[in-house]
Amino acid sequence: MTSKKMQYRRLGRSGLQVSVLSFGSWVTFDNQLGDDMALECMQAAYDSGCNFFDNAEVYSNGGSESQMGRVISQLGWKRESYVVSTKFYWGINGNMRNMRNTLNRKYLSQAIDRSLERMQLDFLDLVFCHRADPNTPIEETVWAMSDMVSQGKALYWGTSEWSADEIRAAWEIAERHHLHKPVMEQPQYNMLTRTRVEEEYARLYDDIGLGTTIWSPLASGLLTGKYKDGVPQDSRGALPGYEWLAERLTDADSMAKVERLRPIATELGCSMAQMALAWCAANPRVSTVITGASRASQVVENFEAIDVLALLTPDVLERIDLALA
């Protein structure tokens, strides 16, 4: 599996290389997509040079992991050719004590085994602490995650939506006790959500070599420009339980910024989505941009954003910043 167009970056200071554009299962897997369509989407991403596929235990209450596991098994890809992840924190065991909204050792040690079963894999490449847990000592979480790596159940571990102070604390605990350190963070990053990646984490990139696998590069679809006339019934904003998303997608101030971006995309000869994805990838601190899609043609279109990356000259990036002001 090779691509002449795809670019690859090291995940932080690790030796692992991930495709600049990757594919995630949030919202779509075991929700909008059946196995056949999920397979088509993953194969389209793989054929476009994608080698990283993102998942999480909580997505569809384990259903997303199970579906991705079935699809990977059916595709028969060589295990060496792809990187797959999951994330732990929310739990999927109802209100069972010690197994919900936690990063304690008991939950983490059992959650990884269940994820491996659902995904039909011997190990996961990346595992993330999906949120920080204020009720569990960071030291307990660091030891549990490091043990996960030592046991060969995961190769690298990291965090998602942790503060810079929490990430640094975890890294320093691992350093002090000679444990496996957190390698990567998965924050939200897009044209409308920039502070954490560009400012809060600024010192961590050089100090500890933090890698980033960013999510929601299209601001849940807002940056595609397709919500100009409201929320289409076949979009994720219309799904039950995503009413909060529909509100965000119709925010007047954000919509105005998106419309100011439209002429720039037109001049570049690309879609709004492609420009937004390329803009995220233009930040050298971004290891990989996680994309999502509900059909194979959308995957192919998204991955063509790699060609737009070369068009984002300093002048174009400055025009984008002015449009977003």
Catalytic residues: 59
> Using an 8 Å Cβ cutoff, are 18 and 11 in contact?
yes
Find all residues with CB under 8 Å of 171, minimum gap 6, and list them.
181, 182, 208
> Using an 8 Å Cβ cutoff, are 304 and 268 in contact?
no
Which residue type does 51 have? N
> Using an 8 Å Cβ cutoff, are 207 and 173 in contact?
no
How far, in Å, CA of 186 to CA of 189, rounded? 9
How far, in Å, CA of 271 to CA of 254, rounded? 18
**Count of alpha carbons within 13 angstroms of residue 65, beta-carbon side:** 25
Stretch (H or E) spanning 289: strand 288-291
Q: What is the DSSP string of 8-68?
A: EEESTTSS-EEESEEEE-TTTBTTTB-HHHHHHHHHHHHHTT--EEE--TTGGGGHHHHHH
